[in-house]
Amino acid sequence: MTLTENRVPVPEAAPGQDGEGKSTGERRKGLLTGLSVAVLVAVLAQVPLIRNRIFYYWDDSAAAFLPDWHYIGEQLRAGIWPVMSPEMWMGGNIAGESMMSLFNPVMLANYLAVSAIPSLALSATLVKTEFLVLLALGVYLLARDFGANRAAAAAVAVALPFSGYTLYFDASAWAGGLICFAWLPIVWWSLRRFARGQMNPIVPIVLGFLAMTVGNPYGALGVMVILAAVAVELALQKHWKRFGWLVVVGGIIGLSTLVVFLPLAGSSAVTWRTDQGVLNTGFLVPNLGDLFAMSAPTFQPQYRVFGSEILSFPMAYLAWFIVPLAPWLRWSALLERVRERSSLIVFAGVYLLFLFGPSTLWLFRWPARLTEYAYLPIAIAIAIVLTKGLNTSRAKAKAIASAIIVLVGAYLSWASTPQHVRWHALATVVVLLLVAAAVKYRERFFGTVLVLGTAVLLVLQTQLYTGNYNITPWRFPHDVTAMRDNFDDRYQGNTLQVVDLGELNQHAELVPDGVWRDVMLTNAIHTAGVDALNSYTGIGNVKFAAALCMNYYGATCPAAFDALWRPVDGERVLLADALRLRTVVVENGIIEDREAAVAQARAGGPKPNQAEVAPGWSVAERTKLVTVYKRDTPLPFGDGRLSFAGNGVRIKSDVKVGENGMDTRYEGNGGKLIFAALAWPGYSATVDGKEVEVKQGPAGLIELDVPAPASGGSTVELRFTPPGYGFGIPLMAGTLVLGVLFSIGWAVAGVRRRRREAAAPAE
């Protein structure tokens, strides 16, 4: 690996020059170092799997991302564009769940791959490794663009992907966060090069499009902050023409990706994702003092987090060498070329303010999510300083200062978790040895020591911190075929699971051979081939969730079972029928309580407060954990989604059209129709071509009031188009075409300019 260069082997790039140097040899070395970084990060990404084989199949990744990726991939392979899946209920508004990245070609390719891989855990590892590598390459290129040499750039590029927050939160669990963040450094790199006239605008347009179409609002905000920061660089240098071109590129990126967020905004009226204003509960709000521990490998910060007041891993950790080497660094390097590097200051300032801000700011919550955003400019700044080499004057005093810094970090780590005293001691010894090695080999092997130290400490950390236990491991099965074989023929048709995971976990573990043998929540149940009403959602549906007291990952309260057997909104249809349920899976504790109450009532005791199962249902299966009820009689209206027709409306046929459309033929009089599908904004209905209003009926279901039919009967056509697509897709196409034309014009102008320069007489 080419990381053994001297302190300053490559001159720093002057404004408007290529930081990689002009010689072919230098560029080759830079390429070789970048490839080495990519390979090393890909290898190191497998280290957490030594102690935890499902490290990347964790929390939201197991509950939502991997199941949804697999589903979308299967749909794409079948030639279907999956914007809405009614059978996934609250989790089925795929277009509205903007982080499903339906317009991102890189993610669509990943979905196809995931759908072809038999293990979701393996798929998670491969995709997460891909984006950890992308992040490292972006950091490397960005650091080089800011003037860092190869060794320093490689050191921070390897370190950032394995920093505490990025590895244990985003890479392990919150895949959308990792993916959007991974694009930002390379977007920043391309925009700076374009702003200096060294890159065709098509590159930042494509990269910006890929970053924005991930669909994560934090990534979209990151792109906007980068654009603003680079604009400040140009303004301070008074490059007003370039400033104007940057505005054009930013506008193309923004307008071409607006379609990604329009369905989310258009669905907000029926969801629980609304503007939450500004408030501070202290939840996931870091402490300013945590920055001092960014080089302490075993320090666990203490502030409010899920179910605890302490982080279960070293979330504040960035890189072992930053704080301990602080006394040796030539900090004056940061005062050089300040205007040309001002985007670094702007980006850092914005995200440090956000990081230590309120717990909720509009749609953005939990500031700890911004840890890696604040660490990105810090890493780049450190690379710039490391490029100047170490200042070894007054070496003894600096060695003492470094030792004190490391020991203070060790004390803070011990004070946070004294039970890990041996691990703290081991990490302290390792860091002290690494600091000594970095100083001793500063001339020849400096970069190698920095990178090797990151690798060694990653191995140490993942032995102690095997996962992020502040969030839910789930431990779902991940063999898709085995999952489907387990539930095949057991849970047929629309299925509702009425379970409390906390209660179930007292009787069996949340593992494939435990609870998940009979129950599976989140979107994993859909991967198992069950049309479950239970699902995971980031946006929710207020009326549906209220009717079944269902939370964001699909768990319900016992009252959901009673609600099934009551008429809805005064109509003569039970909720179970309105939902076209064929299977109901109920936790045994709830059933036993009800059966005891019913037996007591039959013996002359007080009447039970809870409803009994309606006629036409019977027990099909009883296990240690659950009782399974199945409908004994066929559902009305055939195999479509129609679940209720008012008096006088005679249904001739009801069929599904595509993945989310419905056609219903009726006679008789006009009246009310209810369909077993959620009335998401975007549904439209016509009767014989004339539009009728789509209402939110009971439990948020689609409800129509249809007029009296024509003499030979009338046809209701229900179709779904995501909100904003009619405007957003043409806008996307138009702006991307504009971007291509702009890039071609840019290239042609560049060729003409070079010809004029070549033809001009030499002075």
Angstrom distance (rounded) from CA 98 to CA 220: 11
pTM strictly above 0.85: yes
Pair of tokens at residue 351: 């995200």
| 429 falls within a domain | yes
Q: What CATH number did the domain enclosing 688 receive?
A: 2.60.40
Each residue of 185-195: pLDDT tens digit?
999 999 999 99
Residues 200 and 332 in one domain: yes
Residues 114 and 51 in one domain: yes
| 13 falls within a domain | no
Confidence of residue 10 (pLDDT cuts 50, 70, 90): very low
| 517 falls within a domain | yes
| 57 falls within a domain | yes
Residues 297 and 349 in one domain: yes
- Could you tell me the CA-to-CA distances from 655 to 575, 595, 697, 712 in Å, in that order? 21, 38, 20, 19
Vertex 137 angle, CA 131 and 141, to 5°: 145
Each residue of 532-541: pLDDT tens digit?
999 999 999 9
Q: Which residue has the higher pLDDT, 362 or 60?
A: 60
Residues 124 and 193 in one domain: yes
Domain boundary among 720, 739, 756: 720
Average pLDDT over residues 275-283: 76
| 6 falls within a domain | no
| 7 falls within a domain | no
Q: What is the DSSP letter of 388?
A: T
Domain boundary among 396, 430, 464: 464
**What pLDDT is stored for residue 595 in this prediction?**
59
Residues 625 and 522 in one domain: yes
| 18 falls within a domain | no
| Amino acid, single-letter form, for residue 690 | K
Q: Which residue has the higher pLDDT, 186 or 20?
A: 186
The full length of the chain comes to 763
Residues 431 and 525 in one domain: no
Angstrom distance (rounded) from CA 262 to CA 557: 33
**What pLDDT is stored for residue 17 in this prediction?**
42
| Lowest model confidence (mean pLDDT) among 86-95, 209-218, 300-309, 740-749 | 300-309
- Give the number of domains in the chain: 3
- Asked if 188 and 223 touch (Cβ cutoff 8 Å), the reply is no
Residues 591 and 675 in one domain: no
Residues 423 and 554 in one domain: no
Domain boundary among 631, 657, 682: 631
Each residue of 23-79: pLDDT tens digit?
788 889 999 999 999 999 999 999 999 999 999 999 999 999 999 999 999 999 999
| 400 falls within a domain | yes
Residues 199 and 245 in one domain: yes
Residues 350 and 227 in one domain: yes
Each residue of 639-680: pLDDT tens digit?
899 999 998 899 999 999 999 999 999 999 889 999 999 999
Residues 455 and 573 in one domain: no
Q: Is the pLDDT of residue 4 over 60?
A: no
What phi and psi values does residue 671 have, to the nearest 5 degrees? Answer: 165, -160
Each residue of 693-739: pLDDT tens digit?
999 999 999 999 999 999 889 999 999 999 999 999 999 999 999 99
Q: Is the pLDDT of residue 610 over 70?
A: no
Residues 689 and 616 in one domain: no
- Asked if 505 and 515 touch (Cβ cutoff 8 Å), the reply is yes
What phi and psi values does residue 612 have, to the nearest 5 degrees? Answer: -90, 165
Sign of the Cα pseudo-torsion (514, 515, 516, 519, in order): positive
Q: What is the DSSP letter of 98?
A: G
- Sheet containing strand 494-498, strands side by side: 494-498, 581-587, 626-631, 617-622
**What pLDDT is stored for residue 609 in this prediction?**
43
Each residue of 333-350: pLDDT tens digit?
999 999 999 999 999 999
Each residue of 573-599: pLDDT tens digit?
999 999 999 999 999 987 666 656 556
Q: What percent of the chain clears pLDDT 90, i.e. is strictly above it?
A: 82
**What pLDDT is stored for residue 762 in this prediction?**
57
**What pLDDT is stored for residue 5 in this prediction?**
41
Each residue of 133-166: pLDDT tens digit?
999 999 999 999 999 999 999 999 999 999 999 9
| Boundaries of domain holding 654 | 642-720
3-class DSSP assignment, residue 196 = coil
- Asked if 668 and 649 touch (Cβ cutoff 8 Å), the reply is yes
Angstrom distance (rounded) from CA 172 to CA 465: 12
Q: How many CA atoms, within 13 angstroms, populate the side-chain half-sphere of residue 494?
A: 23
